[in-house]
Structure 1
């Protein structure tokens, strides 16, 4: 009996340790901000640009009313901030968490915003006019729109879109006739510049699938949506992304895909998912774009 009792106690201690570890990994995946840094070189850039990129807040509050998040972003001294959608949930009671955050960030920074799927669902629910509320606190919202701006002497074109950059014709070709209305013309107009071109597209699959990355002349696509695979498996990466399946290739990070560089952030939270974020801390991305040095 003594040996059996020790064995049972050992099993219980092991189970408690596993449960505690799982709880901790879920907790930090919603509360412990991590910073990830990337760099890009491009011949169109004459002086360094520092971007901060966030997405997929899903009404999460990090620190006291997102003060920790605001302090982290401010500490990075961004030239501009890109917010790539899904900051509210489709069933959010209001947009106060998001608008308060954006109002604070707009005090010292230029903030650009593109819509994600839960943003669109929230707007369609009629709860409130999210786009107007964001604009009222100083955010530049881009939905099938772009702005030409100058940053540190560099000419930059920033666009925002939610639609797919290819047609829904079975082969996912870039086909004006099967693309969502206006998208082909928008992208054609967007790429017609010598400026450095950044497209905010909440869903990275908008440029990953089909031949979009071969056709469209975009320097950088910035996305969220994947939540980094929601569950991060050690040494393997994201577990599952709806558009890509199990162990997706494009879960988070900076990728070269034909003509385009695609940066995917795992975001800052998640809505009502089947499983919680795990081993997947909220992410703030710091991207440095600098001039391309000749070899």
Structure 2
């Protein structure tokens, strides 16, 4: 190789390296650049006292930080002025578990509004001797830990129901399904949903659950709103908004973001905040969802 060719090759390698590094930095920055997405739900079932009621929906933090001490995340939620903060699982990550990242976020949320939490598949895959003390600490902080239970949220003499479906119940349906030679045994989840519904009345109801792909089963309860995450927006999103892959849904998943209607129920999927198996998102900034209830 001549000196000129060697110099050209070296220059090309340098340019490629700089380009790759620039792409890496750009992706890393975009994966920390939060976006707030606003939705409204109009329903005649919304009580008059809950006209304009705002919910901040947080999902899939995955032990990540957004600013020092979660400053950026807390600022975005605070600026959204929510009346309730709903967390739909995967606060911590099973692969790089950092409970402090979750606790810093939750402690800050509690200074803004009441916090309701349901777990996700990552919490379920952390040893019980580690995760159960975490649940207890959340409760001691004042978080409503909604593992297969229902509560009333009261406002000005009226109320709505907040209902949580634990990831344990979803996994039980998966495990029995595999034993029976199917992927999922709906009857197992449906029985658990009926049990939880016995705790609620006929008022407007919000369900918190982690995995969105079981919408048809959730909707049998006729709850008004279902909040979930898990899909990470499809991780890599095409320009038309189509996600490429989601756990539990596979390639080109349908339920990765926004509203989806099934019967009387409206599912609202958050694209979530953090990452797990895939270290980066593409065309898919981490999201805080705000939902306003309207009559």
Give the alignment's TM-score, normalised by structure 2. Answer: 0.84
Distance 1:109 1:214 in 2: 28
Closer, same or farther in 2 for the Cα pair 1:44/1:153, shift >3 Å?
Answer: farther
C-alpha displacement at 1:93, in angstroms? 5.1
C-alpha displacement at 1:124, in angstroms? 2.4
Deviations 1:261-293 (A, max 9, x none): 11111111012x1452222221100111100xx
Distance 2:91 2:53 in 1: 25
Closer, same or farther in 2 for the Cα pair 1:152/1:55, shift >3 Å?
Answer: farther
Deviations 1:83-106 (A, max 9, x none): 111011124555222112211211
Distance 2:100 2:124 in 1: 16
Is 1:38 the counterpart of 2:44? The answer is no
Q: Which of these residues, 279, 287, 290, is aligned with residue 283 of structure 1?
A: 287
C-alpha displacement at 1:126, in angstroms? 3.0
Is 1:48 the counterpart of 2:57? The answer is no
> 1:201 aligns to what?
209
Deviations 1:38-81 (A, max 9, x none): 11101112212111001111111001120111011001100100
Distance 2:21 2:259 in 1: 33
C-alpha displacement at 1:26, in angstroms? 2.2
Distance 1:15 1:153 in 2: 64
SS in 2 for 1:48: coil
- Equivalences for residues 69-84 of structure 1 within 5 A: 69-84=73-88
**Unaligned stretches of 5+ in structure 1?**
none
Closer, same or farther in 2 for the Cα pair 1:234/1:154, shift >3 Å?
Answer: farther
Closer, same or farther in 2 for the Cα pair 1:79/1:22, shift >3 Å?
Answer: same
Is 1:122 the counterpart of 2:130? The answer is no
> 2:225 aligns to what?
220
C-alpha displacement at 1:231, in angstroms? 1.5
> 1:164 aligns to what?
170
Closer, same or farther in 2 for the Cα pair 1:285/1:181, shift >3 Å?
Answer: closer
Closer, same or farther in 2 for the Cα pair 1:6/1:41, shift >3 Å?
Answer: farther
Closer, same or farther in 2 for the Cα pair 1:94/1:260, shift >3 Å?
Answer: same
- Equivalences for residues 177-256 of structure 1 within 5 A: 179=188, 183-189=192-198, 193-207=201-215, 211-212=216-217, 215-256=220-261
Distance 2:132 2:201 in 1: 36
Distance 1:274 1:63 in 2: 21
**What is the alpha-carbon root mean square deviation over aligned residues?**
3.0
Give the alignment's TM-score, normalised by structure 1. Answer: 0.84
Contact kept? 1:266, 1:282, Cα under 8 Å:
yes
Closer, same or farther in 2 for the Cα pair 1:118/1:70, shift >3 Å?
Answer: same
Closer, same or farther in 2 for the Cα pair 1:242/1:92, shift >3 Å?
Answer: closer
Contact kept? 1:59, 1:87, Cα under 8 Å:
yes
C-alpha displacement at 1:160, in angstroms? 0.9
Distance 2:232 2:53 in 1: 26
